Amino acid sequence: MASSPLSLSIWFFFFFVFVFLIDSSISTRTSFIKLPGSDDGSRYCDSWRLAAETNNAGTWDVIPSVCVDSVADYLNGEQFLSDYNVIADYAIAFAKTVEIPGDGKDVWIFDIDETLLTNIDYYKAHGYGSEPFESNTFNEWVVQGTAPAFDASLRLYNALKKLGFTIILLTGRDEDQRSFTETNLRDAGYSGWERLLLRGPKDQGTSATNYKSEQRSKLIEEGFKIRGNTGDQWSDLLGFAVADRSFKVPNPMYYIA
């Protein structure tokens, strides 16, 4: 039996309503399935940087490619300087509360790269951390010994010396880079440290967290009291034999476990 015109009209009406509802449902669902930052790359990169600095991003190898310009602007801008200065202020404020008897046993530890010395000129040429780290080219940079100091770190360093802290430098650089490192530090304005601890042959292959924890543990065994610790990596600060207070300075260019 042939369908009447009215029946066909009703059938087409419900068909188009059904298609519209399905299409709307799909559109609604897919609007929530978006990559982070797909609407606002700048906002996403600010949020990613916060996640990286607070260690919520976990282990990562290179910065997101969409964030190269954002990281470059941050590192070369006023916000980075402000961030570092605020952290230095907090560190100095804490240091002033520490009672120092003057026996030379009250220690403040500093990392070197991206803590005391800035390698920004090296990383400018390598995508601000968007390229995988290449140890040979970085070591060639270290040998040049031209890395300048951060103004904020030099201010903190000198304030701690004036307060009577014993300064110990603990770096992931290798022992065969000692002379270049010492010269660079002095040229950048640093002086008067008690020890410069570098990786020896037995330390090769040890994670940064374990290596630095082991070195701090040895200091404690010698009777030193680690009052403060400043570094750009969480591996500078975490692990065991940690300081009374640790201060993480900003570095969105790389992550070392």
pLDDT of residue 39: 52
What pairs with residue 170 in β-bridges? 197
d(CA 173, CA 199): 6
Given a contact cutoff of 8 angstroms between Cβ atoms, the answer to whether 148 and 187 are in contact is no
Nearest to 75 by CA among 229, 230, 254: 254
pLDDT band (50, 70, 90) for residue 19: very low
Per residue in 141-180, pLDDT (tens digit) is 999 999 999 999 999 999 999 999 999 999 999 999 999 9
Average pLDDT of the segment spanning 80-97: 98
Average pLDDT of the segment spanning 15-31: 38
Q: What is the mean pLDDT of the chain?
A: 89
pLDDT of residue 120: 97
Q: What share of the chain is helix, strand, coil (3-state, %, to 5)?
A: 50, 15, 35
Average pLDDT of the segment spanning 213-220: 98
Amino acid at 241: A
What would the DSSP string read from start to end of 22-35? HHHHHHHHHTT---
Average pLDDT of the segment spanning 205-231: 98
Which are the contacts of 108, defined by CB distance < 8 A and separation ≥ 6? 95, 160, 165, 166, 167, 168, 226, 227, 228, 229, 230
What is the model's pTM?
0.85
